Amino acid sequence: MTFKHLWHRKTRTILTILSIAMGVAAVVSLSALGEGMSSGMEKVFTSSDADMMVAQKDAMMVLFSKVDESISTDLKQIPGVTEVTGTVTNIVQMADVPYFLVSGEDTRGFSMDHYRIIAGGPLLRRKQILIGKLAADTFGKDVGEAFRLEGTTYRVAGIYETGTNMEDGGAVMSLPDAQRLFDQRYQVSYFNLRVNDKTRIDAIRAEIEGRWPKLAVSRSGEQNRQTEMFDMYRSFGFYMGIFAVLVGSLGMMNSTLMSVFERTREIGVLRAVGWRRRRVVAMIVGESMIVALLGGVVGIVLGIGLIELTKLSPAVNSMLEGVFTFDILLRALGLSVGLGIISGLYPAWRASKLAPAEAMRAATSVPVPPYGMELIGRILSSQALRNLFRRPTRTLVTLSSIGLGVGFTFALLGMAQGIESTFINTFAGDSDLMVEEKGVADASLSSISERTANKIRAHPAVKSMSRTVLGFTAAPGLPFFIVFGLDPSESKLSDYNIREGRTLQRSGEVILGRFAANGLNKDLGKKIQIAGTRFTIVGIYENGSGMEDGGAAMLLRDAQNLFEKKSEVSFLGVAIHDQDRANHVANLLEQQFPDVMVGPTSTFTERMQDFRSMESMLNAMTGLTMLVGGIVMMNAMLMSVFERTQEIGLLRALGWRRRRVVFMILVEALALSLFSGIAGVGIGIGLNRLLGLIPNFGPILTPIYDVSIFGQIIVLMLVLGILGGIYPAWRAAGLRPIEALRYE
């Protein structure tokens, strides 16, 4: 009976399965990408067959680590250490691949064994490069050809393969060449060590960390802060996809409720012939489980297909390799079936409460709505709008399902806008122009030489300039700890609102944001250790920015020494004499200094790869919301057409033309979409407020809702209404009056 009824309403069943499937596909694909990114980065930093890795202490990731190369000689002299090899790792922004991994290796070290050369030969001289198989395919390069990287031309000596997309989509060069390319002379990102007696690893680690307090040693496969971040990447996709599944499951509840409504007399007959309530519940929940299971299976197939499609994009495939695990597939299917059961509980309970005699007398046409809903319906003059309140439960469930997806999108847009605004306010202040190193894939990797900064300051169009060093480090109790290096003689430091103590005056001092001070349980006069160096807290500030208030500020020179950026800064904020000529001055500075990117403060983030990647992610999530929401909307409107078949037939018999019927259904869909959007805005604001309550994390992310975000939501809802209503409207207009009047 269950399968028979599902087959009887094939269109509704297919749409319900699709709504669930799209949510499951989101869970599967996003989880696979998160797993691929985390496992790929783990392999990059742990696949050299080393016993130990030595990196900068408190660095958030090895990518941000900088270690003095001269330490290598002392490490080799430690008893038990047999081999030491240094590596420089960085990410470069390329035209087709925004995240291009470049590693600099000691060509005589054991780390080179990791790169299996499949064409050409090893690195033998300066300005040679090995490129991965994926990179060779992406850029159309072969052995012996020129490869341009960060303004320098290298000759391709060979093509390698490691089995890790992140590495196979990147390149390897000699350690000295990488040090010159990334201006890290006499520095490495980390050292890989081999020992002759693995039982002495702990003793060797203790000796290294004792002699060099700024260094941290990790064993191969050992859990550390970096692996904790990778685990966070793994779970990120799963939790992002849950919202899509929730939207689909609420849509399924809507379909199941409609099934109960239209089968009221059938359920009454079953109850009259002896069916107990639990049997009715089992039947309804069983339908939901079957639909959810089918949706889950289809969703897994779609998710795998989406990952295969991403392989067609070099920009995605080189950085985000999709990796499927049994755990991902099991969680996705379990989530689908679990929510399917939950979605069927309320309709099943409602069906079981039907009294046999009353159910058998019930008509299949639309019931009279509750008085409150009827009153609201009368207030709304449009026939299309009144129809929304005929099925108040279905309308509310549809509002909730679509509103949840829209709310999630609205929350993400507000968060992204807040991050952009915070970034601009933090690094630009009152400046007219911002300056960043050109070609960096991540703002935290930007390095501008002070020589270039001084030349920009001396430009006739420049009025003043502020330099900032940005550093990330680890801190107990905080997800990440941002350190700003500032010069007291420049205007940026004066923007810090000191609430307790005083501002910076001498080396070795630090001022702490209020949020960071609370999270770290620090107060004035206390010591704080940052990246292995102890500082004295002389002030606590409140700027109203989560990014700043969750970090610390110190003198520019201290930050340069701490993060190994000697004679370098991360960003420049530039004030010019004539603000109306901002674009012109930016173009002049970029022509004069080709190594930097210059732009007006208000639009600078539009050119930054970090924010372009974030925008791409938001567009993908918005598209997913439109797809799932459109399916849910179409399902709801089709159910409305089915149950009003006789009514539509009567209207057509009374002279209504097809376009008038189409208009009525479309207006109803647009109204439902609009109300869902209003509910979504409220849900989105609520989600961000809940996020703000998370200890040691929430205050860092402050959402901002500007006019553009509301405009995007309005456009989204219009598209949803049209997509969800066009097919049901066409179907309603195609009903013949006589056949529609005979419809049961």
Q: What is the pLDDT of residues 451-480, one digit of tens each?
A: 999 999 999 999 999 999 988 876 666 657
Q: Nearest Cα to 354, choosing from 410, 409, 275?
A: 275
* Residue that has been written with the tokens 């049209």 in this structure: 722
Say what the pLDDT of residue 39 is: 66
Higher pLDDT among residues 121 and 350, named by residue = 121
What does the alpha-carbon distance between residue 432 and residue 447 come to, in Å, rounded to a whole number?
Answer: 20
Average confidence score pLDDT of the chain: 79
**Out of 147-156, 393-402, 661-670, 733-742, which region has the weakest mean confidence (pLDDT)?**
733-742
Say what the pLDDT of residue 151 is: 79
Would you place residue 501 in the very low, low, confident or very high pLDDT band (cuts 50, 70, 90)? Answer: very high
Residue 337 clears pLDDT 50, i.e. is over it: yes
Say what the pLDDT of residue 692 is: 74
H or E segment and range at residue 330: helix 326-352
Residues 6+ apart with CB under 8 A from 172: 102, 103, 104, 105, 112, 115, 123, 129, 130, 131, 160
Judge contact between 340 and 293, C-beta under 8 A: yes
Higher pLDDT among residues 611 and 245, named by residue = 611
φ, ψ for residue 560, nearest 5 deg: -65, -40
H or E segment and range at residue 419: helix 392-427
Q: For 552-563, what is the mean pLDDT? A: 90
What does the alpha-carbon distance between residue 183 and residue 564 come to, in Å, rounded to a whole number?
Answer: 11
Residue 156 clears pLDDT 50, i.e. is over it: yes
Residue 146 clears pLDDT 90, i.e. is over it: yes
250-266 per-position pLDDT tens digit:
666 766 766 666 666 67
Residue 382 clears pLDDT 60, i.e. is over it: no
Say what the pLDDT of residue 744 is: 52
**Out of 12-21, 387-396, 532-541, 711-720, which region has the weakest mean confidence (pLDDT)?**
387-396
Q: How far is CA 590 from CA 129, 390, 414, 435, 600, in A?
A: 28, 63, 32, 9, 12
Q: For 703-731, what is the mean pLDDT? A: 85
Q: Nearest Cα to 175, choosing from 269, 241, 109?
A: 109
* Residue that has been written with the tokens 């390329």 in this structure: 94
Residue 515 clears pLDDT 50, i.e. is over it: yes
What does the alpha-carbon distance between residue 401 and residue 404 come to, in Å, rounded to a whole number?
Answer: 5
583-624 per-position pLDDT tens digit:
999 999 999 998 899 989 888 888 887 777 777 777 777 777
Angle between helices 609-643 and 10-46 (to 10 degrees): 160
What does the alpha-carbon distance between residue 365 and residue 667 come to, in Å, rounded to a whole number?
Answer: 22
H or E segment and range at residue 691: helix 658-692
Return the percent helix, strand and coil in the chain, to nearest 5.
60, 20, 25
**Out of 52-61, 123-132, 372-381, which region has the weakest mean confidence (pLDDT)?**
372-381
Judge contact between 253 and 261, C-beta under 8 A: no
Say what the pLDDT of residue 473 is: 79
Judge contact between 336 and 292, C-beta under 8 A: yes
Q: What is the DSSP letter of 445?
A: G
pTM score, two decimals?
0.69
Judge contact between 262 and 305, C-beta under 8 A: no
Higher pLDDT among residues 429 and 97, named by residue = 97
**Out of 135-144, 205-214, 378-387, 594-603, which region has the weakest mean confidence (pLDDT)?**
378-387
